[in-house]
Amino acid sequence: MLILIGAAPTAYALNRTMADDTTPAFVQASTAASRVFAARAAGAPEPEAAPARRTVTEALKTKDLNRPQVYAALAALSNDIATSVRNYGAIRTVPAAQTQNLRSDMYLAADAVRLLPGAGADLSEADEAVLKGYSKLLNAGTRYIPGWVKVCVALALGLGTMVGWKRIVVTVGEKIGKTHLTYAQGASAEIVAAGTIGLAELYGLPVSTTHILSSGVAGTMAANGSGLQASTVRNMALAWILTLPAAIMLAAGLFFILRHVF
């Protein structure tokens, strides 16, 4: 999906499958949200679209959103979104030249609405309802994955598991510890992995399921007294250490190439 958005933003950066009859509701929600933001701007003037984007972007980085200047910028962005959709008639008819700005505005507004309660914003129930409905429409317009993309990803994951399952199973079950993994050890490791991943999801922490499960298996081996295979543990630790810088360099290289190609 990221490749599609990067390579063909005109077609995939916005949800162009949204029905045209959703346009009035979208414009109405944007206007209502703008009024909510403007009411908290304490008289701060609404900036132009470009300065408004910069203000909201900086506020999102620091999570310092509960300020009049930020509310004024959000009001400006919401008005700009409403004007764009109204002028073009629907999201699917937004021209290529305006797609990036509209998508950025929608993303910024949606993220700001999501983070406002945690930033100390004291919203009434009515205002919360307005912003919640607005956020849903914004997400529907930007966070859309075509059905064929989901099918392709599912097939790729399924085929990859069919081809590569044995190497993973053998490594986890036989090469982490000096003895074979028992049923009790496997169950313990899975329970720990499920609990850890659940907590990470709750708090929004980036984790690797493979790293968590492998660590759980190593923990059961250590607790059982069966010992660990130093070579496997060393290779796993090196992989964990190298993953982040390797991913950074690969991403930077691909971005550099794609930016010059496209």
Query: Rounded distance, CA 7 to CA 18, Å?
Result: 21
pLDDT of residue 185: 92
Q: What is the pLDDT of residues 59-107, one digit of tens each?
A: 999 988 999 999 999 999 999 999 988 888 888 888 877 888 888 899 9
Mean pLDDT of the residues in the chain: 89
- Examine the pLDDT at 109 and tell me if it is beyond 90: yes
- Examine the pLDDT at 237 and tell me if it is beyond 80: yes
- Examine the pLDDT at 32 and tell me if it is beyond 90: yes
**Phi–psi pair at 11, nearest 5 degrees:** -95, -30
Q: What is the pLDDT of residues 145-171, one digit of tens each?
A: 888 989 999 999 999 989 988 888 888
Query: Rounded distance, CA 35 to CA 47, Å?
Result: 15
- Examine the pLDDT at 204 and tell me if it is beyond 90: no
Residue 200 binned pLDDT confidence (cut-offs 50, 70, 90): very high
- Examine the pLDDT at 235 and tell me if it is beyond 90: no
| Torsion angle defined by CA atoms of residues 86, 91, 95 and 98, in that order, rounded to the nearest 10 degrees | 80
The predicted model gives 4-29 an average pLDDT of 82
Residue 173 binned pLDDT confidence (cut-offs 50, 70, 90): confident
Give residue 76's identity as a one-letter amino acid code: A
pLDDT of residue 97: 79
Whether the model clears a pTM of 0.95, i.e. scores above it, the answer is: no
